[in-house]
Chain A
Amino acid sequence: DSGVTQTPKHLITATGQRVTLRCSPRSGDLSVYWYQQSLDQGLQFLIQYYNGEERAKGNILERFSAQQFPDLHSELNLSSLELGDSALYFCASSAQQGWETQYFGPGTRLLVL
């Protein structure tokens, strides 16, 4: 158990809908990262937040957004969902700004029908 929690574990929704994925980092960790794992794209870095502020951005679509709250939990919002958004979404956390080890949550499996 990495100490990172993600909810929900599974999510089934329809095209065009909007969903929110939630992540709680390990106790004391200030950075949260979001990744998407799909069969065709592999593991892709989406975005990093550090202590409430966006710090690094990867291949995140404009339909996706994230935020980190004062209690350091983070949410990833996916809107106007398409079939291709079906994937496993991982959240990871690290103690500081990113040079340390990232510990991954169990993931949220999203299926868009």
Chain B
Amino acid sequence: AQKVTQAQTEISVVEKEDVTLDCVYETRDTTYYLFWYKQPPSGELVFLIRRNSFDEQNEISGRYSWNFQKSTSSFNFTITASQVVDSAVYFCALSEPGLTGGFKTIFGAGTRLFVKA
């Protein structure tokens, strides 16, 4: 069965610190997709990254980077030189194919990040 664990409920950092948000997943499928979404205080869900199970290359996008390790079933997210605008809840999600052609997506509980000025 699918499971996504974000063990860090809340993280508080001071601006310009680096911070890593952990995500551990469980799945029996060999084909699956992993996502990170950001939910700022305004409430919308903003897509950050998508990674398929066959692509373990790490990715960097500006101050954001992602480390995907199948061996440990982890997909961690690092923000370098954090800024106040990074304050939000961050969700890790796992999508795997269902029995009828669609995809079921399960979200982790989220990590609330506070970045203080």
Q: Using a CB–CB distance below 8 Å, which chain A residues touch chain B?
A: 2, 31, 33, 35, 42-45, 48, 50, 54-58, 88, 90, 92, 97-104, 106-107
Contact = CB atoms under 8 A, between A and B. Distances in A.
Interface string B86-102: 00000101010110111
B35 interface: yes
16 contacts: A44-B107, A48-B98, A48-B103, A55-B100, A56-B98, A56-B101, A97-B101, A97-B103, A99-B52, A99-B103, A101-B35, A102-B47, A102-B105, A104-B45, A104-B47, A107-B44
A45 B105 contact: yes
- Chain A binding site: helix, strand, loop or mixed by DSSP? strand
Interface of B: 33, 35, 37, 43-47, 50, 52, 91, 93, 95, 97-98, 100-110
A101 B47 contact: yes
B102 A55 contact: yes
Residue of B100, B104, B108, B110 with most chain A CB atoms under a 10 A cut-off: B104
Contacts of B109: 42
Contact of A43 (B46, B47, B91, B98): B91
Contacts of B50: 100-101
A98 B103 contact: yes
Contacts of B100: 54-56
Contact of B44 (A44, A56, A57, A106): A106
Contacts of A97: 101-103
